[in-house]
Amino acid sequence: MSKFTRSDIREILRSGTGLDVRKAGELTDLIVGALAAALAAGDAVEFRGFGSFEVRERKAYKARNPQTGETLTVPPRRRIIFRPGRELKTALKVSK
């Protein structure tokens, strides 16, 4: 199993647009930064056919340390949820 990384996106942008490596890297950084900023601001990010990302708040809850039995409170936190789009779901079913 291999990984698809930021470098792969940069190479796709470089080869598909004819940009040099530095400009393709700057464009990749700009896109990733914009997506991160939108999610940090609480906005949803949607790519039709691919999927959507949204931030959800998880409430604080009580937990127990299994070693000591001590009860503690886990603080609330924000989580990123990804929901695949129809085209991605179809592509994943076909590729099996």
Report the pLDDT value the prediction gives residue 1, as an integer from 0 to 100: 78
Residue 95: pLDDT band by 50, 70, 90 thresholds?
low
The CATH superfamily holding the domain 6-94 is IHF-like DNA-binding proteins (4.10.520.10)
Q: H/E element holding 74?
A: strand 71-74
- The whole-model pTM stands at 0.74
For 2-49, what is each residue's pLDDT tens digit? Answer: 999 999 999 999 999 989 999 999 999 999 999 999 999 999 999 999
Report the pLDDT value the prediction gives residue 96, as an integer from 0 to 100: 47
Domain ranges of the chain: 6-94
